[in-house]
Amino acid sequence: MKMTLLWTIQFLSVPVISPLCAGIIKKFKALLQNRQGPGIFQPYRDIGKLLYKDEVISRDASWIFRYAPYIIFTATVVAGTGIPLFASFLKNTLTGDLLVVIYTLSIGTFFLALAGMDTGSAFGGFGSSREMTVSALAEGGLIFSLLTVALVSGTTNLFAGSGTGMFAIGRSFLPRILAFGGFFIVLLAETGRFPFDNPATHLELTMIHEAMILEYSGKRLALMEWASANKLFIFAAMASNLFFPWGIAQGPDTAAIIFGITTFAIKIIIFCMVIAVLESSMAKFRFFRLPDLLIISFILNVIAIGMVYPL
C-alpha cells in the first residue's frame, strides 16, 4: 500500500508541480526587473483558461497536427516516471534507464517539429528547422553527461544512480562537476531558455519553440504549454538528483521520504532562481553562436568521461 502511494506521488508530481516551476521563474524574473509580475500560480490559470477555449485548426492540418499535443504531453509524463524525484529506492526498471528517458523526450521533440511544419506555416517551418538543429547538437552532450553518472555509479538506471552517494569527495567529484556543467547547458537548450531561446517572445526572427506552436489554440495549446513546463521540471529534477543527490530518500522510512520531498523542493526552487537570474542578466545569442555553446557542453562531458576512465 505504501509503495502504491509513493508511485502515485511519483507519477503525478511532474504534471502537477511543473506549472508551479514555470511560475516561480516568471515571478522571480519580474522581481529582478523591479516589476510585480504574475503570481506563481498564474501558469495553472493560463492552462485552465486554454482548456475551456475553442480551437481553430487549419484546413491543411493532418493527423500529426491534431494528435501531436497528446503524444508530446504523454511522452513528458512517461519520462517523468523514469527519473528520481524524492526517493532512489523505487528503482523503476521499465522507464528508468537513461536512454529510455532521453529518447522518450526525443519522441516529443520529433512530433513537436513535425507539428510545426504540418500546416505549412513559414514560421512553423523555420522554428522546426532551428529546433532540430539545436536538439541534434544537444543530444550528444545530454547522453554523455548522463553517461558520466552511469560510469561513476555503475548503473544506467537513474534511480539506482541517484542513490550511490555519487557526490562524495574522491575521484568522481571533478568529473561530476564537469558533467553537471555540460548538462546545465543542455538543460537551457532543451527547455528553450536563454541564451538559446526566449520563452516569452513572439518576434518571428528570434522564436524557436513559440514558432512551432503558433498555429495551436484552445485545448491543444494548453497541452503544448503544459508539456513544455513538464520538460523543464524533468530536466531540473535530473540536475538536482543526479548531480546533487543530497537528501534523497534511500529507504521507505516515512521521515526519510518527507525529508527527501522537502530537500527536492528546495533544490528545484534554487534551480528556478538560477535560471531566472541567467535570463535577467544576459541576452539571447544569435542562432549561429548556439553551436559553440553546445560543443562546449560536449567537450566538458568528454573530459568528464576521460577523467572517470583515464587512458
Is a pLDDT exceeding 60 seen at residue 197?
yes
- Cβ pair 275, 25 in contact under 8 A: yes
Q: How many CB atoms lie within 10 A of CB 178?
A: 21
Each residue of 63-79: pLDDT tens digit?
999 999 999 999 999 99
- By residue count, the chain amounts to 311
- Let me know if residue 33 belongs to a domain: yes
pLDDT at residue 311, rounded to an integer: 46
* Grid cell at residue 272: 528556478
- Let me know if residue 184 belongs to a domain: yes
Per-residue pLDDT, averaged over 105-126, amounts to 89
- Let me know if residue 67 belongs to a domain: yes
Counted domains in the chain: 1
Nearest residue to 276 via CA among 20, 18, 32: 32
Per-residue pLDDT, averaged over 111-119, amounts to 91
Domain that holds residue 236: 21-308
Question: d(Cα 198, Cα 183) in Å, to the nearest integer?
Answer: 19
R_g of the chain, CA atoms, integer Å: 19
What pTM value is reported for the model?
0.93
pLDDT band at 113 (very low <50, low <70, confident <90, very high): very high
- Let me know if residue 12 belongs to a domain: no
- Let me know if residue 40 belongs to a domain: yes
Is a pLDDT exceeding 70 seen at residue 101?
yes
Q: Is 247 helix (H, G, I), strand (E, B) or coil?
A: coil
Amino acid residing at 137:
L
- Let me know if residue 287 belongs to a domain: yes
- Let me know if residue 4 belongs to a domain: no
- Let me know if residue 7 belongs to a domain: no
